[in-house]
Structure 1
Amino acid sequence: MKNSDQLQWIISLIEQADYGNATDYLEQILEVNPGNSTTFCCLVLAYILMGEPEAADATWINQLINADEETIKNTSLELCQLLEQWIVKTLNNQQLDQAKSMYLALRSIDEEYHNPALQDLLINEIIFLGQKLESINKYKEAIEIYLEVLDLNGKQNEVYYQLAYSYYKLENYTEAKKWAYRAIKSGYRLGDSHYLMGIIAEGLEDYVLANTSYQNAKIFYLNNNHNDASKYHLAGKCAEKLGSSSSANEYYKKSITLQPNTLAFYLSLAELYEKQQQYEQQISVFGDALVYFPRHTQVFAKLGQAYLHLGQTNLANYYLGYSYYYSDELGSLSQALEHLKSFFDNYFNHELVDFNFYRDLSKCYLVSNYTKDALNILRLALDLFKDKEFTINRLIQSTFPILYSSLQEINFYRQNFALNLAETCQLKPISSSEKIDFLESLITGSNFYLSYQGRNDTILQKKYGKWIQDNLKKILPEWTNQNRLTQKCENLLSRKIRIGLISFRLRGLGLLYLGWVRYLNHERFHITVYDFINSSEKTDAGLVEDFTRYSDQLVTVSINCLSGMDIANRLISDNLDILIYTELGLDPILNLLCHLRLAPIQCTTWAHPITSGSPAIDYYLSSQLMEPHNSQRHYTEKLIKLPNIAFPLPPVDFIPDNKSRTDFGLENDKIIYLCSQSLFKYLPQHDWIFPEIAQRSNNFCFVFVDPPNGPMVTKFFQQRLETTFGCLNLKYQDYCHFLPRLNNADFMNLNLVADIFLDCLSWSGGLTTRQAIGCNLPIVTCPGKFMRARHSYAMLKMIDVTDTIASNAEEYIKMAVKLGLDDQWREQIRSKMKYNKQKLFNDRDCIRGLESFFIEAVAKIK
């Protein structure tokens, strides 16, 4: 290998954070050629990045001792340039600690070093991190960050204000007052700084200073507002603090008039009326707010409370119910059910004619696992809303229990779906007046829970897909013609292949296919990611920043603001060659789009591992390791088995919180079997496995986690376990522990304190298995006959840890018991996983397979 090639290879090791090997090779090169300045600079860089500044300093000092002045000057310049490049790179990757370490190293190398642009870039990123910490109430950590900024540059007016605010939130008012004075003295946002000083002074019970500060803030806001609505709002806050309610009322109303689409303005005015017990006026304010915020949970909650104050219980139930309904809190729909049911029971005789209410009430019943009640509400709606026949029938058709009580119940609802589908396919042709209702029905419900019955759904999915396609050909013929787009695959030798990825789950399931976007050859392919969101969502959350970084274009599509056909027009205007629906079957919005022809080649993936049934989807991108023999018969699409597991999963990278078992309410002397799949994946015919394992030791404990639907579904699951454990004269409470829904950090820590991961037999773990492997947690799995029950099997095969792959349920039980009783074997499995797990991550073989598929598929179209 040439020296330049060898050095480039070592730099690639540094880029992959393989610092140990990189430093070993660099030191070997320097032993042979100690005068190689580039190698020396890379060695200093590697030591800094691996968190060993002492080694970096020692390397630099050794260079100073052994080199002449001219060499030192040239090497210093080269090292500074290299560190500057890597500071920008690490900032782009949000690796602030590394960026700061390199910047401090720059200042250490050259005492006169000064690069204002680079310093500002670093400081701005650190301040942004501090503000993010504040947003999640980590004020102590934020203060540490802000003080680091002052170490880099002591003149940071914004930091004075942020320090004052963080100390105030920690109730350290003396320290907060000190920094607030500095913010005011610096002239930073004087209105806000004076106001902050006011609330700090209240904390110190210095009411003279508080009144003076609020008066100064109000004067500043009013004298510098230029009809700025936010300034009037802040002046209103000051007026309230100064005891002038009438002035506050005036300023709040002025802010709403100038800027009626800001919720905070309405909330302040309504709160003022609430303090004065003027509930009718408060209701009026929120009525105006609903025009701009029709689904805001806080507005509904406040309206409900206001009606309670007026003694109007029924209206209070309506608004309180919807405050829960629109909330993202765990179990919110079950809480909404109590209020909406009460409202409905009292209103029914007055002929409630609001279709949305019937739909929402049925959803509340459904997620609480009261499936029959949900169906009854929908059938009532079917009699009342004749113009919504297709939509309501679709809702009825897609209504399944979230959790089944028995195998007989699975059979009942499966037969019910099949009969309903047969009746639907025999309906009269769609008339022009029914066209809108039919199209809306397609984005109303999905067959999501059908696939959780453990059966082959290909025939049912195909029949449903054909019915949709046949009707769309009649009412939207131009959108279903495959031949009309074939010419768009022309001139590929002179341009990139245009690929689009559609996702409604970018922030979660996006972890699966992020590697596609990252590692595909962007010299050959142009990749557009379409991020479907509800209009209330933030567009910069979760993995979106990564998709923005690695894609050629990220397009945010608000499904609440656009119709299905508007979205279709937007997609087709991008002239894509290949369109990939990453998780078809999860979300109804995609149910319409996937039956249209929006690109010459259309695909789906195993992010939702079941066939789409749509004739408009050409290929199913699956995994070579996951698919069983003769698996094409499970798909209506042409099956493409990409190498390994098809996705280059990223490594599990997180900083443990050092939580112990007691933090999760678990006993230290128990063997913890983690059963962390969503509860609806556990079918009743497999419940017997748990007591069969449990009867072998009193120290065995199964840990389950509440599903997103909340504790109501958990309650039904516990009833099943009570029956199954009772068959062996055991109490499930002695062996089963249920945890509330966990955030990602706690979920990862739970994997660290567990002993064994028990894979679900009917639907294998995907991202949950990735997390278990990342935590070296032994996995017991038993591959099923469908790909959706073979994810863990494939991942274990990929990392060559196959000792705990069972061939049947009985062997699964034996392995689980042996792992629980044999500490030595369990540790051997852990060690093997720790050594091999890197084989699972950032796989490039699947990328090469994907690229080959794209090129071959496009060639066939031409």
Structure 2
Amino acid sequence: MITAWKEPAYEYLLKQDYLAVAHYYEEALETEPKNYNYYWYLGLAYLLLEQEDEGQATWLVAMSAGSQEEIEIWTTHLVEILSTEAQRQESLGDDRKSLLIRRHLQEIAPTLLTNLLALIPLTINLGYFHPELLKKWEVIEIVKDANSALIDSQSLLKVIELILNFPSYESLALTEVSLPHLIQLTECCLYNIFTVLIKVAYQQNKTSFAADIAELCLNFYPNNLYILKHLCGFYLYGVEHQKAIKIAQDFFQNSNCLSQKLFANFRLIQALIGASAWKEVKEIAQRHKDLLIQVIQEKPKQLDSGIGSSFICITGLLSYLEDNPQESRYFYNQIAQLFQQDFCAKTPALVSKANFKQINKTLKIGYIAHTLKKHSVGWLSRWLLQHHNRDTFQIALYMINQAEDELTQKWFRQNADIIHNLQPDAYTIAKQIQTDEIDILVDLDSITLDITCQVMALRPAPIQVTWLGMDASGLPTIDYFIADPYVLPENAQNYYVEKIWRLPCTYVALDGFEVSVPTLRREDLGIPVDAVVYLSAQSGFKRHPDTIRLQMQILKEVSSSYFLIKGVADEQVIQQLFIQIAEEEGVKSDRLKFLSRDINECTHRANLQIADIVLDTYPYNGATTTLETLWMEIPLVTRVGEQFAARNSYTFLHNVGAEEGIAWTDEEYVKWGIKLGKEKALRKKINSKLKAAKQTSPLWNARQFTRDMEQAYQKMWINYCS
């Protein structure tokens, strides 16, 4: 048992008069030089005065006078004194002094795990942490050899949550040796760990690290559906589709309720499409529809807690598989309704708060998204923010857990009155929107992000709108879906629950794109100067084999032609898919050129100029890629369908006045591809049209488009007030 602080030294300590503490113990030692406890307190006083050398010297002088047995006892006393004061300083909010004490404590007792578990969070909070410290301090070995019964598992879990934000071998190794000590914290442990992993995977793009940690967790909690769900997502985002397929299959086999099976099947379809395993997709897609019908008929009152938050996403792939909006919209709408009922039943309701109804007021418009950055949504929505009339409208942005880049800073933060970048907690976000008294809330994510859907389900604003991100979500709380006269057929309202609000010309407009210097030349690819170059730049999910077959038929008929394929996908898998179909259609594989992604978007747009014609995808058209193509004045061939995703290129082409290349059947798609490939004069004519359209087309007049959107907002508000 150590001797307590002496009075009045303790009073000086509480008053943070550390110099007085030092003077007291200096005088005490002159009177009682053999009272070694005084040395420990004096050395600590020097530390608190940030006289580290004096503090260490004080302890060493005292220790040098003792026997081995005495030194062990004294060290125990010193450790206890330092630990107690470090805790006190931390409780006072002085992390810097606590860190100083604990750093010296670590030198005195390097294997003291309680100190290490407190030291690591302090170094992180103060910005001094690096994963190599875990190796330097031998934390991994100490935790590995520790007795679980003697470990503060909550402190250990806190450390794991923190160090996972620093993806490294050391962080992985420490997590691996820590999991056996956390086995009793199953639910809490997994939720806390995966909360961090989700951020690391999708914000820091460290999906491989996140997957490695998830695999470790799976070893300790075999067949855990929560782990399988997220692990599959990590592999998908990291373009490791074969691993994703295996995990998705395990997920499906271990699912024991309908909502789990549906989500697992959704993940499996994602993985199969990503791996271009289209033959297998057909059977799994049919199973998905059967499961959808079953869950809609059963109308479960409660969805599985681990799946319910993401349940609305399970319809998101239907538009990639086929163009059948009457059926797919039915699934969208029904699943969205189940999702909303389940989420709202588990979430406190917002206290009803009516906005002041005055027709001629300054309307507060809120935009909610996780994509206000270098992302398709960011590139397109920025112009609306740029041109908003700030005298008539007050603009608020609700970014969800979003990494911010130069696009965010220049175009979004500079053009809004209220800006929040919020953690992914739907209720908190909704409360903030309600507190800000937003009149019209515009969702830019649709079903690409479950958190956004949760916020919209809570209806924090009196008028709620979906625009831009994807097709409408089908949520009953969404009032309007922004469209134009062409992007949806005339009868579309028959299968949308949202009221379709058609703007006069186009549902999106830009003042243009930034373009850099091209880095790609034909000679670099071994393509003759006089050859015809087709190009397709899309994500792997849009590479439907039926459309690839049509593209190969075009290539076959235009003898001196090449096809450039570029986009986000598993490059090896995409190459195999294209080469296989090319060989089946009698096209030599050396006419296919597979391009890596460019270093940035500006270079990508410049490099589009290598193409004579761009061939669009179907049943899911290009959107941003089509706009980039038209801005670079390149002819485009598109296959028009019935669903929103199959009509983007059609509305853009119509709005620039270039009808050439618009195909309503597969046969027309092939004919237009051949015709544009063989008729150079026709391509030149389209080039001229596209160039002239930059001065006249509503597609390239973001200012007028903004006025159209603002007029729509005002009419929506008048309807609400009435």
Say whether the fold is shared (TM-score over 0.5). Answer: yes
Distance 1:567 1:307 in 2: 32
Spell out the pairing of 1:265-280 with structure 2 (5 A cutoff).
265-270=129-134, 272=136, 280=141
Separation in structure 2 between the aligned mates of residue 682 and residue 363 of structure 1, nearest angstrom: 20
Structure 2: which amino acid aligns with 1:552?
D
Measure, in 2, the Cα distance between the counterparts of 1:356 and 1:438: 6
Structure 1 contact 256–265 (Cα < 8 Å) conserved: yes
Residue identity matched to 1:787: F
- What letter is aligned with 1:510? G
Name 1:363's counterpart in structure 2: 233
SS at the partner of 2:490? Answer: coil
Residue 692 of structure 1 deviates from its aligned partner by 0.8
Do residues 422 (structure 1) and 290 (structure 2) align?
no
Q: Which moved more, 1:763-772 or 1:543-552?
A: 543-552
Aligned counterparts of 2:489 and 2:463: Cα–Cα separation in 1: 25
The equivalent residue for 1:54 is none
Q: SS state of the match for residue 125, structure 2?
A: coil
Counterpart for residue 407 of structure 2: 542
Rounded Cα–Cα distance in structure 2 between residues aligned with 1:331 and 1:259? 24
Are residue 587 (structure 1) and residue 449 (structure 2) matched?
yes
Q: Is the 8 A contact 2:438 2:461 kept in 1?
A: yes
CA distances 1:95-119 after superposition (whole Å, capped 9, x unpaired): xxxxxxxxxxxxxxxxxxxxxxxxx
SS of match in other structure, 1:828: helix
Amino acid at match of 2:358: N
Q: 1:459 aligns with which of 310, 313, 330?
A: 330
Counterpart Cα distance in 1 of 2:700 and 2:107: 63
Q: 1:550 to 1:407 in 2, by over 3 A?
A: same
Q: Deviations over 1:777-797 (max 9, x none)?
A: 222223222232222222222
Counting only pairs closer than 5 Å after superposition, residues 29-48 of structure 1 correspond to structure 2 as: none
Q: Does 1:302 align with 2:170?
A: yes
Cα separation, 2, equivalents of 1:283 and 1:545? 48
Q: Aligned in 2, Cα 1:352/1:472: closer, same or farther, shift over 3 Å?
A: closer
Aligned match of 1:667: 527
Tell me the equivalent position of 2:431: 569
2:422 maps to which residue?
557
Distance 2:313 2:144 in 1: 34
CA distance in 2, matches of 1:306, 1:295: 10
3-state SS of paired residue (1:265): coil
Q: Is the CA contact 2:260–2:307 (under 8 Å) kept in the aligned structure 1? A: no
Matched, 1:860 2:719: yes
1:629 counterpart = 2:499: no
After TM superposition, list the pairs within 5 Å mapping 1:731-742 onto structure 2: 731-740=588-597, 742=599
Question: Aligned to 2:626, what secondary structure does the other structure show?
Answer: helix
- 1:609-642 Cα deviation digits (max 9, x unpaired): x231111111111122423232223422111111
2:419 counterpart SS class: strand
Q: How far apart are the structure 1 equivalents of 2:437 and 2:342?
A: 25
CA distance in structure 2 between the aligned counterparts of 1:625 and 1:499, rounded to whole angstroms: 26
Distance change (3 Å), C-alpha of 1:376 and 1:308: closer
Check if 1:846 corresponds to 2:708.
Answer: no
Report whether the alignment pairs 1:703 with 2:560: no
- The answer as to whether partners of 2:349 and 2:458 remain within 8 angstroms in 1 is no
1:520 to 388, 392, 411: 388
- Structure 1 counterpart SS, 2:660: coil
Matched, 1:499 2:365: yes
Give the SS at the match of 2:320: helix
1:664 CA displacement: 6.7
The aligned counterpart of 2:250 is 377
Structure 1 residues 288-344: Cα deviation after superposition (integer angstroms, max 9, x where no partner): 884453543523x334478999xx9xxxxx99xx99994569997579779976996
- Return the letter of the residue paired with 2:493: Q
Letter in 2 for 1:512: L
Which amino acid letter does the alignment assign opposite residue 582 of structure 1?
L
Secondary structure of the 1:612 match is coil
Question: Any idea what SS the aligned residue of 1:576 has?
Answer: coil
Is 1:836 paired with 2:708?
A: no
| 8 Å Cα contact 1:358/1:378 also seen in 2 | yes
Task: Indicate conservation of the 8 Å contact 2:211/2:235, yes or no.
Answer: yes
Report deviation, 1:687. Answer: 2.1
Amino acid at match of 2:321: Q
After superposition, the Cα gap between the structure-2 partners of 1:477 and 1:424, relative to the gap in structure 1 and judged at 3 Å, is: farther
Percent of pairs with identical residues: 21
For normalisation by structure 1, the TM-score amounts to 0.59
Q: Per the alignment, do residues 325 and 573 of structure 1 end up closer, same or farther by CA in structure 2, a change over 3 Å counting?
A: closer
The one-character-per-residue Cα deviations of 1:388-432 (angstroms, maximum 9, x if unpaired) are: x687345325335235468775553343223323333455864xx
Match of 1:765 among 602, 622, 635: 622
Aligned ranges for residues 226-265 of structure 1 at < 5 Å?
258-262=122-126, 264-265=128-129
TM-score normalised over the length of structure 2: 0.70
Structure 1 residues 290, 395: CA separation in 2 closer, same or farther (over 3 Å shift)? Answer: farther
SS for the counterpart of 1:652 is coil
Alignment of 1:606 with 2:606, yes or no, is: no
2:559 aligned with 1:689, yes or no? no
Partner of 1:5: none
Which residue identity does 2:250 align to in structure 1?
A: I
**Contact 1:489–1:858 at 8 Å: present in 2 too?**
no
Distance 1:627 1:260 in 2: 52
User: Which range is displaced more, 544-553 or 437-446?
Assistant: 437-446
Per-residue deviation, 1:496: 1.1
SS in 1 for 2:614: strand
Q: Are 1:488 and 2:355 an aligned pair?
A: yes
Task: Supply the AA of the counterpart residue of 1:624.
Answer: P
Give the letter for the 2:625 counterpart: T
Once residues 626 and 594 of structure 1 are traced to their aligned partners in structure 2, the CA distance between those partners, rounded to angstroms, is 24
Indicate conservation of the 8 Å contact 2:362/2:393, yes or no.
yes
- Check whether the contact 1:628–1:785 (CA below 8 A) recurs between aligned residues: yes
In structure 1, distance between residues paired with 2:575 and 2:532: 20
Compared CA separation, residues 861 and 752, structure 1 to 2 (3 A) = same
Distance 1:261 1:255 in 2: 10
Find the aligned partners of 1:692 and 1:435 in 2 and give their Cα distance: 47
Query: Is the CA contact (8 Å cut-off) linking 1:443 and 1:589 kept in structure 2?
Result: no
Change in Cα spacing, 1:331 to 1:256, as seen in structure 2 (3 Å) is: closer
CA contact (8 A) 2:312 2:335 kept: no
State the alpha-carbon separation in 2 of the partners of residues 689 and 328 from structure 1: 35
SS at match of 1:555: strand
Q: What letter is aligned with 1:533?
A: N
1:645 maps to 2:506: yes
Q: Distance in 2 between matches of 1:678 and 1:291?
A: 35
CA shift, 1:759, in A, is 1.4
| Structure 2 counterpart SS, 1:688 | helix
Greater RCO (CA < 8 Å, at least 6 residues apart): 2
* Structure 1 contact 605–620 (Cα < 8 Å) conserved: yes
Structure 2 regions of 5+ residues with no counterpart? 1-93, 147-154, 181-189
Q: Secondary structure at the match of 2:129?
A: helix
Q: How far did residue 847 of structure 1 move?
A: 2.7
Q: Is the 8 A contact 1:390 1:441 kept in 2?
A: no
Matches of 1:556 and 1:308, distance apart in 2: 33
Give the SS at the match of 1:543.
helix
In structure 1, how many angstroms separate the alpha carbons of the residues matched to 2:175 and 2:287?
Answer: 42
CA contact (8 A) 1:391 1:438 kept: no
Give me the CA root mean square deviation: 4.4
Q: What is the alpha-carbon distance in structure 2 between the residues aligned to residue 478 and residue 381 of structure 1?
A: 33
> What does residue 222 of structure 2 align with?
352
1:791 aligned to 2:648? yes
Q: 766-775 or 512-521: which moved more? A: 512-521
Comparing 716-725 with 769-778, which one deviates more in the overlay? Answer: 716-725
How many pairs align? 586
